[in-house]
């Protein structure tokens, strides 16, 4: 039994949260195939499949290091060192790969392919996040039966102790939602199975097993913590318990207070496409870095959330909707293309950026933007804010190209998500990054399990001073 607590009242609420394609141009460490095609001997639960997969991947990594450990991957320039290590290849991340032109691929599958291959709640519906979790961990597209089983397992794991809510309640209700969310995740750490196992003594080869337990528990529980924060801040502390049969995305929507079938579909899509984006982004890299010190998944993910909360990363999705609303406030909903161009130039000339456009890696329109646009065209084509987003798609890229300082003038995932959420009633932009955080738990925790299984090393890159760089460049110039 779990207790949800408001500032003035303890409400007893039972709490649980929900839960082959051959691609010639894709590089994958495991051949993609539907788990339903594997035969009865291997068509088992997620944990058992991992126990089968891990030894062969351990041997693969060992062979790669022995035979090719000295192969050079490229040259490091001073620009890379001064530019935040941009473009350096220096991190193993198995669960997804980001191509500058194609966008994200989850275990080799593009977003449209995931939408086609991963089971949905209904025929032709958006993919269930549980299916993506299975894909990220095993490299195989699961059957509907396996996804339903995993969804039930996540619901069974989703119990949050009362002290977690007390920790959140200790903060002012005015604290940023990400501050409250990260504090709740830190409080969950008390139950870490990895920490307990490490303190008792566990062979390194077994690290992945308590990490798996922590990771699935964390993935299962963060929607409860996140929805608690939302209802605490915006709904007067009137909390909604988990539904006993809904899937992960639909249950999250339900606990937030949104039960329309379309909003549930949107949440399934949102969680799926925001789950992982290769290892170099701030939140993913932070989670990996902290975990490389053998910090447990709760500590690692809480650190990742603090990176996600930065304006140049996850916080950008709240900035987009606020900026779009500022356009409407000043120019009205029926703004013309010329008026919009003027407003964009006004924003740029004031020293600000147009939020939602550009990306550190991508050089084309973000596929995550495209699938959200398709969702909007299907479900809300006449929404004024969606129509404004469509106009921005036509107006902003040429302006940024003319400006000449932007490598990628195209919209990214943040350019669209806020408008969709706003349409279905989730209008509180300050909360949007928490949704991003819940989603990102799936990708970060999946990779963390593999970090432990493969025995990846403590991350410790070399740093240098400006004087070292200056002297090095002088020596290089003299040759």
Q: Torsion over CA of 376, 377, 381 and 383, rounded to 10 degrees?
A: 20
If DSSP codes are grouped into helix, strand and coil, which group holds residue 99? strand
Which is the catalytic residue, given 254, 277, 288, 359?
359
Burial of 218 (0-12, 13-18, 19+ CB in 10 A): buried
Structure tokens at 419: 């408008």
C-alpha distances in angstroms, 391 versus 256, 280, 414, 427?
Answer: 31, 31, 16, 21
Q: Which of 54, 23, 247 is nearest to 133 (CA)?
A: 247
Sorted by sequence, the CB contacts under 8 Å of residue 286 that are 6+ apart come out as 300, 303, 304, 306, 307
Owner of token pair 């039972």: 14
Q: Which of 178, 173, 186, 176 is nearest to 232 (CA)?
A: 173
* 313 counts as catalytic: yes
Asked if residues 126 and 268 have their Cβ atoms less than 8 Å apart, the reply is yes
CB atoms within 10 A of CB 29: 15
Q: What is the full DSSP assignment across 125-192?
A: -PBPHHHHHHHHHHSSBPPHHHHHHHHHHHHHH----HHHHHHHHTS-TTS-HHHHHHHHHHHHGGG-
Which is the catalytic residue, given 254, 414, 416, 451?
414
Integer Cα distance of 357 and 429 in angstroms: 18
Q: In angstroms, how far is CA 175 from the centroid of its own chain? A: 23
Phi, psi (rounded to 5 degrees) for 179:
-65, -45
Asked if residues 251 and 223 have their Cβ atoms less than 8 Å apart, the reply is yes
Which is the catalytic residue, given 285, 313, 416, 451?
313
* 414 counts as catalytic: yes
Q: How many helices (H) does the chain have, and how many strands (E)?
A: 20, 4
Secondary structure element (H or E) that encloses residue 3, with its range:
strand 3-5
Secondary structure element (H or E) that encloses residue 100, with its range:
none
Active site residues: 313, 359, 414
């Amino acid at each position: 039994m779990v207790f949800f607590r408001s500032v003035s009242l303890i409400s007893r609420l039972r709490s649980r949260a929900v839960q082959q394609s051959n691609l010639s141009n894709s590089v994958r460490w495991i051949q993609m195939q539907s788990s339903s095609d594997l035969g009865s001997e291997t068509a088992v639960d997620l944990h058992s499949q991992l126990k089968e997969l891990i030894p062969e991947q351990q041997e693969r990594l060992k062979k790669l290091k022995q035979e090719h450990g000295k192969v050079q991957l490229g040259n490091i320039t001073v620009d890379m060192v001064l530019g935040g290590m941009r473009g350096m290849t220096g991190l193993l991340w198995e669960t997804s790969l980001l191509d500058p032109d194609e966008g994200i691929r989850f275990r080799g599958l593009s977003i449209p392919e995931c939408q086609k291959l991963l089971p949905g709640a209904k025929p032709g519906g958006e993919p269930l996040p549980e299916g993506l979790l299975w894909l990220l961990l095993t490299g195989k597209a699961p059957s509907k039966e396996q996804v339903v089983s995993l969804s039930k397992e996540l619901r069974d794991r989703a119990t949050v102790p009362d002290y977690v809510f007390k920790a959140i309640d200790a903060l002012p209700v005015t604290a940023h939602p990400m501050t409250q969310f990260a504090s709740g995740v830190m409080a969950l750490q008390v139950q870490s199975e990895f920490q307990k196992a490490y303190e008792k003594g566990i062979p390194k080869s077994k690290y992945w097993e308590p990490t798996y337990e922590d990771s699935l528990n964390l993935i299962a529980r963060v929607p409860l913590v996140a929805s608690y924060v939302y209802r605490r801040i915006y709904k007067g502390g009137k909390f909604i318990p988990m539904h006993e049969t809904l899937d992960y995305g639909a249950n999250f929507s339900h606990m937030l207070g949104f039960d329309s079938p379309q909003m549930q579909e949107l949440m399934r899509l949102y969680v799926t496409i925001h789950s992982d984006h290769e290892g170099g982004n701030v939140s993913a890299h932070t989670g990996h870095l902290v975990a490389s010190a053998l910090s447990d998944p709760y500590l690692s993910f809480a650190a990742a959330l603090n990176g996600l909360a930065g304006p140049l990363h996850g916080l950008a999705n709240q900035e987009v909707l606020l900026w779009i609303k500022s356009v409407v406030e000043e120019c009205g909903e029926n703004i013309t293309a010329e008026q919009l161009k003027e407003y964009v130039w006004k924003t740029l000339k004031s020293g600000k950026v147009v939020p939602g456009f550009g990306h550190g890696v991508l050089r084309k329109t973000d596929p995550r933007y495209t699938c959200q646009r398709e969702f909007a065209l299907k479900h809300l084509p006449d929404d004024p804010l969606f129509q404004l987003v469509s106009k921005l798609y036509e107006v902003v890229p040429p302006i940024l190209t003319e400006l000449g300082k932007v490598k990628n003038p195209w919209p990214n995932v943040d350019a669209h998500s806020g408008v969709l959420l706003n349409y279905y009633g989730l209008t509180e932009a300050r909360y949007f990054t928490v949704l991003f955080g819940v989603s990102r738990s799936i990708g970060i925790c999946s990779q963390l399990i593999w970090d432990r299984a493969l025995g990846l090393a403590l991350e410790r890159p070399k740093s240098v001073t400006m004087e070292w760089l200056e002297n090095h460049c002088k020596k290089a110039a003299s040759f």
